[in-house]
DNA sequence: TTGTAGGCGTTATCAC
DNA sequence: GTGATAACGCCTACAA
């Protein structure tokens, strides 16, 4: 059926369609009486501005694409936060799910940018670092996590500093031998955490068995443990997420290693299952939804030519559980 | 920057804008030579039709809203499948994340329908069963899982029949005492599985300790076990998903119950962690992405006034693991 | 086989 | 303070 138009509202209110437009956009000078009548009538007949017409006239599509990978559960919460902010800012957020390598995603992103349909693109799944919007496109591409000009990781997800706290605390508990199962290094967040790990291990003079990359999946964690040479010392495993950590746990069980004597392990993301494994998994809780909001705020601010005010509150906190064994009290 | 328009293409090609439109839409009669030239020029200058103008003219927004809850990880894969199909059919899929009760989501859905911006709405998170689009709106509302007129559950996700197989196989292994930790009954899929559970238990003359509802979270599973009266017989727990199942495992560990003597348990969804717990969790793998595709195909077909051809291939299969103990061989 | 013209619902410019 | 009027880019009768 036909939706009412602003012209219908005008007709009923006995004013010109222009006036209705003024009222709805808060522009121009309209008397209070007229404004009130227009608003009332608009509401009563269920008038909603037609987005297509509006964007045709304003030449702003009001659409933002959000690029997701397909496999990572936490991305759903990022998307939820991002979509919320986009909507509140009057944008429609469309999610595009692209499997494959960052390069493949990069092509897709470039194509979307070239399509001219989108005012902006938020990439949650990793794309190549040097992705530049095509010539003459004014589509803004904002990665949810990235590096700044000095190669410092930035963005709400890229904060790996808590890895340092994890390592320090475990070192304080007497652990000396560490290993980092890091996740795919296409992810800025993974690289950021690896960098912090490396720095912390060196600073504290600890022994590191190295960085083990691979996928985000549990099997990577399991294999990492199975392929480790036999150790005398307890190994402290810093895993890049909880899936890797549960794989580590499984690998340890298969080797007959027990916690916390032979091995301790930390995860990341605070996936629900980690609180219910035996032993439960020490992890870092990440407020993904808020991270999604912040990333989208950055994009929306850029589109409005505003500066995004930097947000202060940290999005992460360590949750100590059984997988790290007993620790000395205090911080 | 300004995108080229069909008029630009026409000008360069030395034809009228009408001809360009005909070529692009495959309508009208255009000579092969003209068609080829137009297409070549369109491609060379990067022409893309402007969606806003098109939808203004055709009066079809080309937008579909997908309603998600915020908390359920598997919904990401449903969304991925749904978005893929929508896109291939020329629709833009926008995800809306609404926390809260089905009623609250229902209000949001109705508001979206009334906005006139969407041609269709796909609800992945549950909404009230009797949700009807507002008077005079031609927005189609399709739930990803629902009931038909005979109260049989339909839709790709609502198939609970494998619960019957699970129960049968465990009964064949000698189990007699069952309990179902079912998940929130706002979910059609949860209700469908509960119904199948109840039917199977009765048909096989088994003892059921009942249905335990609550949330989808692991804590519900844990509490269910902790609150169970002491049992002589082994309890076979049919859990509504893997999170519930890992909670069951944790609860059993806290009670000092061991598998498979005191308890066996099955999950649902084939979440990755379930293969790496100790014991690993018997579960049902669900092809969520394909389920999302099918749900969206239904909606898109309805929008095109096509009939969706029913899809045959099952989306689920049981994966037997350690949490159900040894089973007699054969099916 | 191709071209002309009108309008979809908005916003924005300019007169009154 | 308010109202005509002209686009925005596309599709589609209808005319040539």
CA A26 to C1' C14 (Å) is 19
The per-residue pLDDT of chain B, averaged, comes to 90
pLDDT of residue B309: 72
Given an 8 Å threshold on Cβ–Cβ distance, is A116 in contact with B48? yes
Protein chain A, residues 29-68, with a C-beta closer than 7 Å to any atom of nucleic acid strand D: 29-31, 33-34, 53, 56-57, 59
Q: How far is A42 from chain B (nearest CA, A)?
A: 13
- Measured between alpha carbons, how far is B256 from B272 in angstroms, rounded to an integer? 26
Closest CA to A99 of A69, A135, A123, A143: A69
- Asked if strand D comes closer than 7 Å to B51 Cβ, the answer is no
Mean pLDDT of all residues in B78-85 = 95
- Measured between alpha carbons, how far is B272 from B292 in angstroms, rounded to an integer? 19
Peptide bond into A260 cis (omega under 30): yes
- Measured between alpha carbons, how far is B220 from B229 in angstroms, rounded to an integer? 16
Q: Name the nt closest to A25 by C-alpha to C1'.
A: C11
Q: Which residue of B has its CA nearest to A136?
A: B1
Closest CA to B157 of B70, B281, B280, B240: B240
- The DSSP 8-state label assigned to residue B68 in this structure reads E
Structure confidence at residue B321 as a pLDDT band (50, 70, 90): very high
The per-residue pLDDT of chain A, averaged, comes to 90
The three-class DSSP label of residue B226 is helix
Residue A279, CB-side half-sphere exposure with 13 Å CA sphere: 25
pLDDT digits 0-9 by tens, B245-263: 999 999 999 999 999 999 9
Structure confidence at residue B1 as a pLDDT band (50, 70, 90): low
Q: How many CB atoms lie within 10 A of CB A194?
A: 21
On chain C, which bases lie within 7 A of the protein's CB atoms?
1-5, 7-14
Given an 8 Å threshold on Cβ–Cβ distance, is A97 in contact with B115? no
Burial of A285 (0-12, 13-18, 19+ CB in 10 A): middle
Q: What are phi and psi of B312, to 5 degrees?
A: -95, -45
Given an 8 Å threshold on Cβ–Cβ distance, is A53 in contact with B56? yes
Q: How far is A124 from chain B (nearest CA, A)?
A: 13
Query: What percentage of chain A reaches a pLDDT higher than 70?
Result: 94
Which H or E run includes B18?
A: helix B17-25
- Asked if strand D comes closer than 7 Å to A17 Cβ, the answer is yes
Q: Name the nt closest to A48 by C-alpha to C1'.
A: C9
Q: For residue A270, is pLDDT > 90?
A: yes
Given an 8 Å threshold on Cβ–Cβ distance, is A1 in contact with B137? yes
Structure confidence at residue A1 as a pLDDT band (50, 70, 90): low
Q: How far is A157 from chain B (nearest CA, A)?
A: 19
On chain D, which bases lie within 7 A of the protein's CB atoms?
1-5, 7-13
H-state helical runs in B69-187: 75-88, 102-114, 161-172
Record the tokens describing residue A83, joined without a space.
Answer: 């979509």
Given an 8 Å threshold on Cβ–Cβ distance, is A250 in contact with B3? no
- Asked if strand D comes closer than 7 Å to B55 Cβ, the answer is no
The three-class DSSP label of residue B93 is strand
Given an 8 Å threshold on Cβ–Cβ distance, is B79 in contact with A95? yes
Q: What angle do CA B26, B28, B32 make, to 5 degrees?
A: 70
Most confident of A38-42, A223-227, A295-299: A223-227
Structure confidence at residue B16 as a pLDDT band (50, 70, 90): confident
Contacts of B247 in chain A (CB under 8 A): 276
Q: Nearest by CB to A217, from B75, B222, B272: name it.
A: B272
pLDDT of residue B155: 67
Q: Which residues neighbour strand C (beta carbon < 7 Å)?
A: A 2-3, 5-7, 17-18, 21, 24-25, 27-28, 47-50, 53-54, 56-58; B 14-19, 22, 28-31, 33-34, 53, 56-57, 59
Which of A212-221, A300-309, B13-22 has the least mean pLDDT? Answer: A300-309
Q: Which residue of B has its CA nearest to A91?
A: B94
Which of A234-238, B128-132, B236-240 has the least mean pLDDT? Answer: B128-132
Mean pLDDT of all residues in A24-33 = 77
Q: How many CB atoms lie within 10 A of CB A329?
A: 5
Q: Which residues contact B245 (CB under 8 A, 6 or more apart)?
A: B221, B237, B239, B265, B266, B267, B268, B274, B281, B283, B323
CB-CB contact of B95 with A95 (8 Å): yes
| Overall size of chain A counted in residues | 331
Query: What percentage of chain A reaches a pLDDT higher than 90?
Result: 61
Q: Biggest alpha carbon distance in chain B?
A: 88
**pTM score, two decimals?**
0.93
pLDDT of residue A297: 92
Q: Which residue has the tokens 């870092």?
A: A284
pLDDT of residue A82: 96
For the four alpha carbons of A258, A260, A261 and A264, in that order, the dihedral sign comes to positive
Given an 8 Å threshold on Cβ–Cβ distance, is B138 in contact with A87? no
Given an 8 Å threshold on Cβ–Cβ distance, is A278 in contact with B278? yes
pLDDT digits 0-9 by tens, A138-164: 899 998 876 554 555 566 677 889 999
pLDDT of residue B245: 98
Q: What are phi and psi of B181, to 5 degrees?
A: -95, 105
Structure confidence at residue A26 as a pLDDT band (50, 70, 90): confident
Terminal-residue alpha carbon distance, chain B:
64
The three-class DSSP label of residue B293 is helix
Mean pLDDT of all residues in B202-206 = 97
CA separation, residue B307 to residues B26, B299, B310 (Å) = 24, 10, 9
CA A87 to C1' C10 (Å) is 20
Q: How many CB atoms lie within 10 A of CB B310?
A: 7
pLDDT digits 0-9 by tens, B125-153: 989 888 888 777 889 999 887 655 444 55
Which of A252-266, B246-260, B264-278, B306-320 has the least mean pLDDT? Answer: B306-320
- Measured between alpha carbons, how far is A279 from B268 in angstroms, rounded to an integer? 22
């Amino acid at each position: 059926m036909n939706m009412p138009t602003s012209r219908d509202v005008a007709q009923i209110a006995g004013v010109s369609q222009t006036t209705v437009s003024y009222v709805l956009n808060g522009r121009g000078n309209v008397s209070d009486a007229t404004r009130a009548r227009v608003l009332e009538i608009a509401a009563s007949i269920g008038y909603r501005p037609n987005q297509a017409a509006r964007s045709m006239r304003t030449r702003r599509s009001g659409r933002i694409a959000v690029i997701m990978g397909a496999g990572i559960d936490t991305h759903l919460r990022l998307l939820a936060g991002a979509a919320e902010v986009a909507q509140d800012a009057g944008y429609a957020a469309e999610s595009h799910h692209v499997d494959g390598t960052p390069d493949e995603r990069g092509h897709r992103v470039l194509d979307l940018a070239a399509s001219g349909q989108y005012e902006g693109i938020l990439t949650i799944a990793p794309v190549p670092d040097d992705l530049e919007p095509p010539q003459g496109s004014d589509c803004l591409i904002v990665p949810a996590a990235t590096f700044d000009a000095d190669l410092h990781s930035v963005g709400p997800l890229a904060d790996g500093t808590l890895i340092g706290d994890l390592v320090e605390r475990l070192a304080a508990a007497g652990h000396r031998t560490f290993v980092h199962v890091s996740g795919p290094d296409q992810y800025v967040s993974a690289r950021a955490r690896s960098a912090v790990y490396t720095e912390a291990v060196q600073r504290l003079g600890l022994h590191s068995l190295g960085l083990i990359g691979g996928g985000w999946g549990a099997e990577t964690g399991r294999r990492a443990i199975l392929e480790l040479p036999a150790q005398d010392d307890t190994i402290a495993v810093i895993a890049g997420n909880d899936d890797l950590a549960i794989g580590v746990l499984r690998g340890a069980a298969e080797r007959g290693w027990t916690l916390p004597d032979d091995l301790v392990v930390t995860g990341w993301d605070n996936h629900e299952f980690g609180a219910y494994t035996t032993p439960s998994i020490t992890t870092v809780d990440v407020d993904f939804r808020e991270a999604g909001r912040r990333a989208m705020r950055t994009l929306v601010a850029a589109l409005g030519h505003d500066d995004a005010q930097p947000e202060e509150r940290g999005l992460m906190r360590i949750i100590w559980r059984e997988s790290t064994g007993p620790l000395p009290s205090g911080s």
